[in-house]
Structure 1
Amino acid sequence: MKKARVVVVGAGVVGFSTAVCIAEALPMCSVTLLADKFSPNTTSDGAAGILLAVEFPDIPLERQRRWFKDSFDHLLAIAQSQHSPEAGVILSSGWQIFKEVPVDKLPFWSELVIGFRLMTDCELKRFPQHKFGQAFTTIKCECSSYLPWLENRFIKAGGEVKQRKVNSLEELSSSYDIIVNCSGLGSKNLVGDTQVYPVRGQVLKVEAPWLQHFIRDGDGKAYIYPGIHSVTVGGTRQEGDWRLQVDEEDTRSIMERCSRLEPSLSKAKVLSEWVGLRPNRKNPRVERVLVHLQGCRVPVVHNYGHGSCGVTLAWGTALDAVGLVRQCLNEMLLEAKL
C-alpha cells in the first residue's frame, strides 16, 4: 500500500515533537517537516524550558494533566539516560514563591513533578517580600540542544526535513495527504487565526555556576533557571508586542528584579540577550478539521498556541496529534474502500 504523505509545518519544539511522534508511531506514513526557520533561530531556542504549566480555561483539566504527564515522563526518561547532556535535558530543583498566598496552593501538576511540597517559614525567610512558596524538582529542557537532537531522531525514523516558507495551506494540498500545522504564531497568517497573538519575552543568559537551584516568582515576572552551560534570567510578558530587538531598559529591569531574589546575580557576567514572541492563545488548538483546498477536502491537524508552555506540553500535545492523524488515516482508508 502506498504510504500516506504527511507534512508538518513548523520546526519549533511543538513541530519537531509532533513530527517525531508521527514518524515513530505511524510507519505507514512518509513524514516531511517544512519550516523557514530552524534551530537556533526558533522561538523555542530561547525558551527557559522549565516544566511548569498554567491552567487553560476551556480545556478539560484531565486533558491538560495528560499533556503535562506525557511530556514530563518523556523528558524524565531522557534526563535519566545517557542522552541527557547531548539532548540538553536535566533535572532541576528549586522554589516558586508568591507575594500573596495563591487561591490554588496545589496546582494540577503538583503530583506529577518530583517531591512537591509547600515551603517552610524558615525557607521563606530568604525571600522577605514573599508569603508563600512551593518547593519541587522538575525538568529543564534546553532547546538549543534538544531541537537538533529531536531532528536527528526524526531523520533516523525516516523523516525528511526541508527549509521552505509556507505561505498558505493551498500550496501543500497537491503534494500531501494530511497537513499538520505546528506553525505557532505563524498560524495567524497561515490559517487566519485571529485568536493567536504574541507575548514578547526577553531573557538573559548569564555566567553564574554557583547557582544550583531555580527561583521563580509566581507572577512570572522574575525567574532564575540554572542550566547546563549558563543561567537563564528573565523575563518579560508584553502582550501584543511584536518587537524582536533587545530592549536595554528591559535588561536592566530583569537584572534588578532577579537580583532582589538572588543578590549574587550582581556578580554574574551577561553572556547573551535574547527576545522571542510566545504564540499565545486563550487555549492551545489541538484538533483536526477538513479544509477545502483546490477543490478537494484535505484533513488538517492543528497543534499550536501553547504560549509559554511550549516545552512543557509539546510531547503531550504531539501524542494527541498522532491520534488525530491516525483518525484521518482510518477515514481515508474507509473512503478508498467505498
Structure 2
Amino acid sequence: MKRVRVAVVGAGVIGSSTAVCIAEALPMCSVTLVADKFSPDTTSDVAAGIFFPTEFPDVPLERQRRWVMDSFDHLSAIAQSEHAADAGVMLLSGWQIFKEVPANKKPFWSNHVMSFRFMTEAELKRFQGYKFGQAVTTLLCECSSYLPWMEDRFRKAGGVVESKKISSLEELNYDIIVNCVGLGSKTLVGDDEVYPIRGQILKVEAPWLKHFIRCGDGLTYIFPGARSITVGGTRQQNDWRLEFDEDDAKSILKRCSKLAPSLKRAKVLSQLVGLRPSRRNPRVEREVVQIRGRRVPVIHNYGHGGWGVTLAWGTSVDVLGLVRQCVNEMQPQAKL
C-alpha cells in the first residue's frame, strides 16, 4: 500500500500536536512537519501555558467540550507520568477572581478540570475589591519544554521535520496538507478573519509563590512554573508590535504586585512578546484546493487565540478524524 504523504505546516503548539497525533495514529501516512520557526522561536514559546478554557460563540458547545476533555486528558496523563519534567507539564492550583459576580459562575468546563469550587470569604479577603472567585486545580504546560519534547516524540513516530518558509500552498507537493500556521493564515490562505492580539509577559524569580492568580478578564495573571513565574499581561487587538514596551511592563508589575505584593522584590529574568493568532472561532475544517492541477485536501487548524495550549490536542484529534476520512477516500481498502 502506498503511503499517504501529509504535510503539517506550522510548528507551534497546534502544529506540533497535530503532527504527533497523525504520525502516531496513522502509520500508513508519511508525515512531514514544515515550518520556518521552531521552539524557542514560536509564538507558543511566549504563552503562559495554563489550561483555562473559554467559550467560543459559534462552535457547538458539545464540540468545545470534546476539545477541552481530550486536551485535558492528554496533558493530565503526561503530568502524571515519568515524562512530566521533560515535557514541562504539571498540575497547578490557584484562584480566578472577579470584581463583579459573573453571570455564569460555573462555566461549562468546570467539570473537566481536576477540581473546581467557589472561593470562600476567607480566601477572597486577601484580594481587596474582588467580590467573587473560583478555586481551580488545572494544568500548566510550559511550551519551552513541551515543544522540543513533542518534536522528539514526533520523530520517534517516524515523522520528518523540515525547516522551510512557506509562502504559498503551491510550494507543497503532498497528498494532504494541514494548515496550522496561526496568524500566517491571513496571507497563506487569505483569511481576513484572523487577527493578532498582542501579548506581553515577564518571567520573574519568585519561588515562594506556589499558587496561580488570574483576574476574570484574563488581562492580569501570575502563573508559577518549574523555573520561573510568568506575570502578565496585555491583550492589544490588531497590534502587530513585537517590540517590548516599557510602559506595558510597568503596568504589568504594578497590577500583579497589587495581587501579590511580594512580587515587588522579584527579580525580572526575561521579557517576552507574542502575537496571539485570534479569530471569532477557531477554524477546524476541511476544504479541497486546486494545487498544481490537482485537487488536494487542505485541513485547517488555527485561530485558537490565547487558548492554544488549552485546545491543541482536542482540535488535533478532530483533524486526525478528517485526515482519516481523506485517507479512506484515497485508499478505501485501508478502512482506518
Give the TM-score of the pair, scaled to structure 1. Answer: 0.98
2:277 aligns with one of 273, 276, 279: 279
In structure 1, distance between residues paired with 2:325 and 2:219 = 41
Alignment partners' CA distance in 1, 2:325 and 2:237? 36
Residue aligning to 2:59 = 59
Residue 262 of structure 2 is matched in structure 1 by 264
The yes-or-no answer on 1:186 pairing with 2:184 is yes
Deviation string 1:211-240 (CA, Å, 9 cap, x unpaired) is 000000001111000000000000000000
C-alpha distance in 1 between matches for 2:59 and 2:217: 22
| 1:286-314 deviations in Å (ceiling 9; x for gaps) | 00001111221100010000000000000
The whole-number CA distance in structure 2 between the counterparts of 1:293 and 1:2 is: 21
Identity %: 71
The alpha carbon displacement at 1:335 in A equals 11
Residue in structure 1 matched with residue 76 of structure 2 by the alignment: 76
2:67 and 2:60 map into 1 onto residues whose CA distance is: 11
After superposition, the C-alpha distances for 1:91-127 in whole angstroms (9 at most, x for unaligned) are 0000000000011100111001122000011111011
Most deviating of 327-336 and 52-61: 327-336
Q: Secondary structure at the match of 2:331?
A: helix
Counterpart of 1:195, as a letter, is E
| Secondary structure of residue in 2 paired with 1:110 | helix
Name the structure 2 match of 1:221: 219
Shift of 1:46: 1.0
Aligned-partner Cα distance in 2 for 1:221–1:32:
36
What is the DSSP-based 3-state SS (H/G/I as helix, E as strand, rest coil) of the residue aligned with 2:186? helix
- SS of 1:109's partner is helix
Kept after mapping to 1: 8 A contact 2:53/2:68: yes
| Residue of structure 2 equivalent to 1:8 | 8
Residue identity matched to 1:228: A
**1:333: how far off?**
2.2
C-alpha separation in 1, matches of 2:328 and 2:35? 27
- Counterpart-to-counterpart distance in 1, 2:4 and 2:80: 35
Select 1:329's aligned residue among 306, 327, 330.
327
CA distance in 1, matches of 2:333, 2:115: 50
CA distance in 1, matches of 2:310, 2:48: 10
How many angstroms does 1:206 deviate by?
0.1
Cα deviation, 1:259-285, whole Å, max 9, x if unaligned, reads 011111001000000000000000000
Residue in 1 that maps onto 2:143: 143
After TM superposition, the runs of 4+ consecutive aligned structure 1 residues lying more than 2 A away are 333-336
Residue of structure 1 in register with 2:234 after alignment? 236
Structure 2 letter corresponding to 1:189: T
Partner of 1:249: 247
Once the two structures are superposed, the pairs formed by residues 37-116 of structure 1 within 5 Å of their partners are 37-116=37-116
Give the match's secondary structure for 2:219.
coil
Letter of the 1:323 counterpart: G
Q: Secondary structure at the match of 1:18?
A: helix
Question: Amino acid of the residue matched to residue 330 of structure 2?
Answer: M
Q: Distance in 1 between matches of 2:171 and 2:226?
A: 41
Say if 2:162 is the partner of 1:162.
Answer: yes
2:35 aligned residue:
35
- How far the C-alpha of 1:334 sits from its partner, in A, is 4.6
Distance 1:296 1:80 in 2: 45
For residue 129 of structure 1, report the CA deviation from its aligned partner.
Answer: 1.1
Match of 1:312 in 2: 310
Aligned-partner Cα distance in 1 for 2:324–2:219: 40
- What letter corresponds to residue 157 of structure 1 in structure 2? A
CA distance in 1, matches of 2:108, 2:181: 28
Aligned with 2:111: secondary structure?
A: coil
Matches within 5 A, 1:15-30: 15-30=15-30
5+ residue gaps in structure 2? Answer: none
Q: Distance in 1 between matches of 2:147 and 2:2?
A: 30
Cα RMSD after superposing both structures: 1.0
Deviations 1:58-80 (Å, cap 9, x if unpaired)?
Answer: 00111111101111111011111
Preserved contact between residue 40 and residue 144 of structure 2 (Cα < 8 Å): yes
1:165: Cα distance to partner? 0.2
Decide which moves more: 200-209 or 292-301: 292-301
AA matched with 1:61: L
Alpha-carbon distance between aligned partners in 1 of 2:292 and 2:231, rounded to the nearest angstrom:
48
CA distance in structure 1 between the aligned counterparts of 2:148 and 2:253, rounded to whole angstroms: 30
